[in-house]
Each structure stands twice: as C-alpha cells, then as structure tokens.
Structure 1
Amino acid sequence: MSEVLVIKAHPKTADVANSIEIGDRFLKAYQAIHPNDTILVHDLYAEGVPEINSTNLDSWKKLTNGVTYNELSENEQILLSRQQKLQDQFIAADKYVFISPMYNLFLPNRLKMYLDLVVVSTKTWVEGEHGPEGTLKNKKAIHIQSSGGTYHHTDNAFMATLDMGDAYLKALLGQVGVKDYQGIYCEGNSHRDPEDMAKNREIIAQEAEKVAKSF
C-alpha cells in the first residue's frame, strides 16, 4: 500500500479546467489499479494556504528562543499546527500528484506558498558534504499541467526552457530526494477553439490514464 498526496492548485471556476479534468481522470485510473492505496487530496484554492508572513516568522523565532508551544497565543498555535500537519503529510507520502495550470511561465502562487511550507531544512533535506541531501527517498512525483502555449510538445527545444514552473518543481523535489519525476502537459490551449480543446484534452487524458497504471 502507498500513500498518494494530491495537490490541486487551480482556482474554482464555472468553466472546465483542463488540468483538473485530466488530473481527475488520472486519479480514477490510478485508484482502479491500486484500490488499497490511500489518496489524500488538498485543493489549495478551496482550502487556502497559510502565508509565510511576520506572524509565522515571529512564532518560529519564539520557539527557537525557547518559548513552548503552549505559551504561544491561540492563533499562533492554530497556525503552526496546520503547518505541521501539512509538513507531516508531505513527508509521509510515497507518491505526489501536482495538478496546476501555468501562470506567466510559472506555478500558481498558492502552489509556491504550499511548497515553501512543506519543504523544510532538517526535515526534507540536510546539509551534506557536497551540498543539500534530500531525506525523502524512493518516492515519485508527477506534474499534470495545462498551458496556453506549447512548451513540451514541440521540436523547438528553447520553448521547454521557458516552462520555469515545471523545471522549478522538478528541481525542488530533486533536492529533497524525489528523483522519479514526470510531467503530463495539456498545451496550446490559447490557440484552440472549444471543440479542438476538448479533443486535445481527451488525448492527454488518455495518456494520463496509461501513465497512472505504472505510477
């Protein structure tokens, strides 16, 4: 049995969200193949993400300086408890599924905020002799992303370098020890009419279902 952590980072809209539709198809296919695995889903736009601000920094400083958890204010305790829970879930997971659109060549801000909370020194990586060494070994991740432009399904290698969000996610996960990483990309959506977009989404969804069987 494996624990699968799913991070959805797409705003709720009345329209069909390509990455969410494909992600849901992936998860349905995965669950059919792995019925005994545990799947935990966090919808970052529905749930919200604790922001790293002065309150966080002050609370962390208090704990570093010897203040006990029980001596913190009720609001500080609630904030730190949620952060700790998110970190523990991230560390405990065996597999990660990130579902998001591309925003300005990068990840949605709430996904970045989430990663800032769960990727923590001494917990997910330590300083080794030759630099950071990840502590999360033998895990795997997949990034399901939609975008208006075409960055991966093209012969133009330069375009892939513009997808800095996907590159960042891969690099960050690699730093914490997650080396098995792959992406599924639903691209070129800004240039498609609704019918063509639906056809392309179906093609990518079928690809995702195939990948789910071996994930």
Structure 2
Amino acid sequence: MADTSSKEIGELSQSIQRHNAALEELKDVPNILKKLVDKIGIEPDRTEPGNRPDWSLGLSDDEDNTDDDANRIINQDANSNDELDELLQDLEKKVEFGPALLANVSVGFSKTVARPLTKESKSSLKEKIRVPENCKELIVPKVNTEIWKLLPSQAKVLDLKQQQIQEVLSSGLSTLASISNSIALHKAEIPKEVVSS
C-alpha cells in the first residue's frame, strides 16, 4: 500500500514538473503577441469595457473586426504582392505561335501526339530510329552501377523517369538529324525555296 502511494506521489511530482515547465514556456506568449500586434499595426480595442463582453462567439455584426485585422495583415507587405503578381503574369502569358502548317501535316502530328502508341509500333519505331554513329552524345546516359546500387528506391524511380523522357527526346533528335542528313544529301534535287526555308 505504501509502495503504491509513493509511486502515485512520484507520478504526481513528475506531472507537476511537466506542467510547471509548460507554464514557464507560456510566460513569453503575451510579449510575443504584443510584438506581433505592434509589427502588424492592429490597434487595441478602444471601446468601453462595459459595452463589450469579455468573451464572445463572434456572431454579432458589432464584433466583426476580424476581417479588418486580416486584411491589414494580408495587405501589409506590398513588395511580396508585387512579386506574386509578377510570377502570376509569367504563368498567365499567352503562348505565341509560329506560322500555321499545312492542314494534313498539322492533323498528322496532332493525331500522333493525341493517341498512344501500341507496343508493336513502339518496338518497331525503336528498331527503325537509331542514334547516328557520329552523334553518340544523343545516347541517354546511365547511372554508374556502383552508384546505382547505393541509391534509394525513390531516387531510382526518378532517374528511370528522366531516362524515359531523355530517350524520347533522343529519338526525336535522331529522327531530325536523319531528315536533315537526307535533305543535305539530296540538296540538288530539292527546290531552293524548300532548302533555304
């Protein structure tokens, strides 16, 4: 019995110590709030203490000063609003388009982008489109195997996604390089207007 009461006293003592530590930390809250009020510029309530209750649910129209205080906080820093407006303008810029393509060329490319490739057509394209022998810079770089073993799985997934994007870009650039090569080889047969544009 005496053992349990001393245990309870010990627990109460620890609880009181924790509460005292928490109260000690809360002593600075009024000073912090005063500094915040001074910095933001919220004026203290000038109404008569008898006219306003000590507590409120905030449902009365007479008690609705929170919007004014919130607006003062929001509109305090005009510089950050200017930066935000500038960032939004960059996002909202309209895309400037180049000259229109022939209708059938436009439709062909739009359909290519809009519909997914089948597995057969993907593998067929991979076989047909190869990086030119003298353009080895277009090959997608791989992570060193020693480093790859040490990477966390999330980093591996991100790297694989980047490799897939780079493979698509590499295939597109390889195709453009092959087209440019064909045009250069058959330059004499192609009208000058086509080659010069």
The TM-score normalised by the length of structure 2 is: 0.23
Larger Cα Rg: Structure 1 or Structure 2? 2
The structure whose residues are more often helix, as a share, is: 2
Larger relative contact order, structure 1 or 2 (CA cutoff 8 Å, min sep 6): 1
